[in-house]
Amino acid sequence: MRFDLGRQTTLARRAVLSGVGVHSGKPATIAVSPAEADRGIVFVRADGAREVEIPARFDRVVATELCTVIGAEGLSVATIEHLMAAFRGAGVDNALVEIDGPEMPITDGCSEAFLGLIEEAGVVRLKAGRRAVRVLRPVRIEQGDAYAEFLPFDGTRYDVTIDFTSPLIGRQGYVFDLVPGAFRREIARARTFGFMSDVEKLWKLGYALGSSLENSVAIGEDRILNPEGLRWTDEFVRHKTLDAVGDLALAGMPFLGHFRSYKGGHKLNWMALKALMADASAHEIVRDAETRSAGEATAFAAAVLAPAKI
């Protein structure tokens, strides 16, 4: 079977973004730069006497409790999922991400600012064909009544369901096909969220120190505390879908298949991806056999980064 995956991409130039870390509350700056074909997304911790490269891959994940954290040689980078989702949503395969500390800037709690950073840098095509992980048979991970699974599918689909006892959220489901323009239009602006009772506990433990109504949807006992309210009535499940896009980008390449989760999160996303990649009978790596013309590549990049129609 032949797949029209197109050619790999990278950034055209360097671009910089600054903010604060949601857990540390400290300033954080990243710089994204071009990288060669098959390099993937690589984080570079450059805040001390040495620089450490940390590939954004599932086998470099060191924590998933509050966010997704990757590490190497004793250094780590936390809360990478929103940038990784933006890279995957914008179709960027290769890039270097220099960061001056252990945590990504949270921006406004979603991927919109990171898409803006990618637009500023620009996206260009490389000569090498894109690779992808094709799901050949089902792989499923369960934890109690929660689960995450991969199924064969002709495309890239995320099928996420959440179920909270709070009537402000309840049970929400969202099915999202990753096609050009869809990420920006449907989920890039969906913000992270949390219950104020949980946030207050985290503050006492020294976490979520940078969390505020500027970068999170805060849920009180009987109302949403953000004055502007929600961006969508189902913003909660859309953000969980955004997280899944970012976490599964740690395959190091796109996947061709149907990802489905119920009551999932960073840990289940990662466990399912790790299980898929560990099972040689459940997946195969495919590479596009053809390249697109320069005109087609330009049209594709323009479609991916097209402004949202709200």
Does the CA dihedral 272-278-282-288 come out positive or negative? positive
Return binding residues: 82, 239, 243
Burial of residue 132 (CB within 10 Å: 0-12, 13-18, 19+) is buried
Q: How far is CA 95 from CA 9, 39, 103, 234, in A?
A: 9, 8, 18, 32
Look up residue 227 and give its amino acid. Answer: P
Catalytic residue among 23, 258, 266, 283: 266
Buried b (16+ CB within 10 A) or exposed e, 204-226: eeebbebbbeebbbbbeeeebeb
Return binding residues for Zn(2+): 82, 239, 243
The structure tokens listed for 18 are 């600054």
Residue 23 a catalytic site member: no
DSSP 80-122: -HHHHHHHHHTT--BEEEEESSSB---TTSSSHHHHHHHHHH-
Asked if 252 and 146 touch (Cβ cutoff 8 Å), the reply is no
Active-site residue list: 266
